Amino acid sequence: MTGILQQLVLGILLGSLYGLAAAGLSLVFGVLKVLNVAHGELIMLGGYAAFWLVALVGLDPFVALLLIIPLAGLFGFLLYGGLFRFIVRHGEETRIKNSLLVGFGLALTLQALAVRLFTADERSITTSYRGRALLVGGVVLPLGRVLNLVVALVLITLLHLFLRKSRWGQAIRATSEDWEAASLLGIDVRRAYGLAFAIGTALAGAAGTLVSLGYSISPSIGLEWTLKALIVIVLAGLGSAFGTFVGGVVLGCAEAVSAIAFGGAYREVIGLLLFFCALVARPQGLFGRS
């Protein structure tokens, strides 16, 4: 019984990162209507940035996180200006198809670059508290992963507050509802796009930091994380930061349950099947809000 509970708890802890990973992709998808399939590679780069800041500079990973979020945001801004700016000129269907292709090329490029720069080795951040764990009723809670969940929740709350309360957050939401109406109201749609993309990338950087802290990173993890984020978006719908977070936790739990039922080797399969079924059940696409 505690074994099952243990699996579920670990599933929830991992699921919080799925939620954070998906929040960035969901924001970009919902606002720009582009599907950046290189989102997982952005997570991977964030993970490496954290790894090197910890290994070379000797920062605490959570201090490194404070640096990585603005750095990743800047990188996202450049990426928007250099690439995705050219895609959002098109109509909706073309936009999504083109973004898929460009994201695919970007993913390959970033992955090849990471192999070149960082080698294909698997790495993870080791801290003095990584090995520590809390014991609650026979269930082991690894301290690093619990901190991950807390940080993810804080970031999701900040995102929620930004989108609901701030002026720019409202501009971004208005743009995602209807960019033509938004631009008639005097909102600089291009700037809202750039900002949303930058925030999405910053969230990916943060997620990558937490992944390298609680789990491990290598240049090839991108595709897996992109798929996880897509699954969460399909499960949770668009438009709510907390909804996305809950979707991530649900996916983590579903994987844990399937690992208990069919063995750990099939834990990836359940999410992908859920994803395909959800897609076929809602063929009009993911823009429907739930």
Partner 1 sequence: MGSVSSGRRRVGTGRAAATSAALAILGLAPLLVTREDWLNLGVIFFLLVALAQSWNVMGGFAGQVNLGHAAFFGIGALVTRHLWTGGLAIPLAVAAGVVLATVAGLAVGMAAFRLRGAYFAIGTLALAEVLRIAIGNVLPQISTLPAAVIAAYRLSIRYYAAAGLAVATTLIVTALAASRLGLAMEAVREDETAAEAAGVGAFRVKLAAVAVSTSLAGLAGGVFAFYHISYYPQFVFSPAWTFDPVLITFIGGVGTIHGPVLGAALFVFLREYLALHWVDLHLLIFGVLFIAIVLLLPGGLVEAAARLRALGARRSRAVGPGPTGRAEPSQSSRWGESLRRRS
Q: Tell me which residues touch partner 1 (CB under 8 A).
A: 35, 37, 83, 86-87, 89-91, 93-94, 96-102, 104-113, 115-116, 223, 227, 230-231, 265-266, 268-269, 272-273, 275-276, 279-280, 283, 285-286
User: What residues does 136 pair with on adjacent strands?
Assistant: 139
Smallest distance from partner 1 to CB 252, Å: 18
If the CB atoms of residues 129 and 266 are measured against partner 1, the closer one turns out to be 266
Please give the helix or strand (H or E) that residue 133 lies within, else none: strand 133-136
CA distance 258 to 169: 38
If the CB atoms of residues 88 and 192 are measured against partner 1, the closer one turns out to be 88
Smallest distance from partner 1 to CB 155, Å: 25
Smallest distance from partner 1 to CB 8, Å: 22
Instruction: Give 242: exposed, middle or buried? Use CB within 10 Å, 0-12, 13-18, 19+.
Output: middle
If the CB atoms of residues 94 and 126 are measured against partner 1, the closer one turns out to be 94
Is the CB of residue 279 less than 8 Å from the CB of residue 233?
no
187: left (phi over 0), alpha (psi -120 to 50) or beta: beta
Smallest distance from partner 1 to CB 181, Å: 19
Query: What is the greatest pairwise CA distance in the chain?
Result: 59
Smallest distance from partner 1 to CB 136, Å: 33
Alpha helices in 215-285 (DSSP H): 222-236, 241-262, 267-281
Task: Name every residue whose Cβ is closer than 8 Å to that of residue 2 and which is 6 or more positions away in sequence.
Answer: 137, 138, 139
Smallest distance from partner 1 to CB 151, Å: 28
If the CB atoms of residues 139 and 278 are measured against partner 1, the closer one turns out to be 278
Tokens of 124: 């993870």
CA atoms within 13 A on the CB side of 51: 22
If the CB atoms of residues 60 and 268 are measured against partner 1, the closer one turns out to be 268
Q: Cα dist. 217→24, 117, 120, 152, 280 in Å?
A: 19, 14, 10, 18, 32
If the CB atoms of residues 87 and 163 are measured against partner 1, the closer one turns out to be 87
If the CB atoms of residues 76 and 142 are measured against partner 1, the closer one turns out to be 76
If the CB atoms of residues 144 and 252 are measured against partner 1, the closer one turns out to be 252
Smallest distance from partner 1 to CB 111, Å: 7
Alpha helices in 83-188 (DSSP H): 92-118, 143-165, 167-177, 179-184
Amino acid in the structure at residue 153: L
Smallest distance from partner 1 to CB 90, Å: 5
